Amino acid sequence: MTTDTTVTELNTAAAILAAIEDPSGREIHDPATGEIVGRTGEGSPADIDAAVAAARKAQPAWAARTSQERSELLNKAADAIEASAEALAELLSREQGKPLNGPNARFEVGACAAWLRANASFELEPEVLVDDGETHAELYYRPVGVVGAVGPWNWPMMISVWQFAPSLKMGNTVVLKPSEYTPLSVQALVAVVNQVLPADVLAVVPGDGAVGAALTSHADVDKIMFTGSTKTGQAIMRTAADNLARITLELGGNDAGIVLDDADPAQIAGDLFWGAFINTGQTCAAMKRLYVPESLYDQVCQALVEVAGQSPMGVGLEEENVLGPLQNKQQYDIVARLVEAAKDGGARVLMGGDPVADQPGFFYPTTLVADIDNDNPLVAEEQFGPVLPIIKYTDLDQAVEWANELEVGLGSSVWGTDLDACRQVAARLEAGTTWINKHGAVDPRVPFGGVKKSGFGLEFGLEGLKHVSVPQVISW
């Protein structure tokens, strides 16, 4: 429905669940406790057909609104999220597992509102390409049509907004397919936002991989946005070829951080830790491997142990916790396997690495691993959990070579006090984004995307708007 003011009936977790739950649907369990969070309906390819048809029908009227009118509605959607913020954060914490505090559930809900407001503020003006007295050419960006968006389970609400906020701003309509692990969070977000958006402009269809495939292969979907694994991204790319749908893929990463020999271990330890352990390490652009010069190695290791020891892990609804469980058993098993591979390879576990037997939930302890070979599976594969391998180097060129040798390239970082030296190293790293003295610090104004098998296309900022549009040149 559409209203002139924000509707606030969905301001408790119980009210939101009542609005979105299917009493006969599939149970969703809290990964921290095993308790039932709620029940989700399961869509079908036929539901995708219906949602896409409705989105196709609604799109011309939505595109006919002025950019300012669409921005006003995006700001009202942000107001609606803020009015329901605590309820959304509680549901997110219970379904995904992330704690309320720290860079977690409340942070994620706040980011949803912030990204909507940022996109509402962007204006993609026509560009004059040539004006020489004989030829005048201008470049315009038009709506692409219907956007099909498939999101992950690690930041289910925030990444959904990354997909639909710029799409809606440019006059597209959107059909979302959330992860099977976190469908309630995305359905809740859409229910809150749809209090102020016109009907059928934004829809969500939960379901399994067949439902996702029905969306990404749909003949009436003009643009596909996907965040997830490289393997699934490759499959989407193959199916999209039949329809020549435009694609933005944000895929897996194994981000490297390089500490330079002039860094201050005590000063950077906190940012190093959260660069790696944000969302309990379940972030595509988290730092997954850290290269430290021999001269600072012991100091950096000790500083990280101290920060980790002050970062409690536990059930997300308990206010003191800032680290939570792995979201699902499959991811838990991957993390456990890679830590065992590190132990088998002779690495030294500084802390963690020994999960408590028979503990409820998918908790893997905060784990720091030192004296590990660069070719160990814990370094070469993406762990996507609360584990950080710390690799010693004696030659900076070798560290850069190690950082670049993998087939992924989402993010990277360089740490030191000489900014010129940091920038020189950053320029040598093969990644879509390289941060200096921070890691994973995304900004709605700054384009973000990967290289190599971490995907292609850009999100955020004016470039992000261009990637959910089609260019048109008008020349006379």
- Give the separation between CA 333 and CA 355, rounded to whole angstroms: 11
Tell me, what DSSP letter sits at residue 180? T
Instruction: Kindly list the catalytic residues.
Output: 250
Instruction: Tally helices (H) and strands (E) across the chain.
Output: 16, 20
**Nearest residue to 453 (alpha-carbon basis) of 413, 411, 412, 407:** 407
Reported as type and span, the H/E element at residue 63 is helix 45-64
Provide the residue type at 120 as one letter.
A
Q: Helix crossing, 156-169 with 85-96: angle to 10°?
A: 130
β-pair partners for 27:
39
Going from the C-alpha of 439 to that of each of 111, 170, 374, 453, 458, the distances in angstroms are: 17, 30, 20, 20, 18
Strands 173-177 and 287-293: unpaired
Q: Which of 138, 184, 172 is nearest to 38 (CA)?
A: 184
Q: Identify the CA nearest to 435 among candidates 256, 254, 249, 250.
A: 256
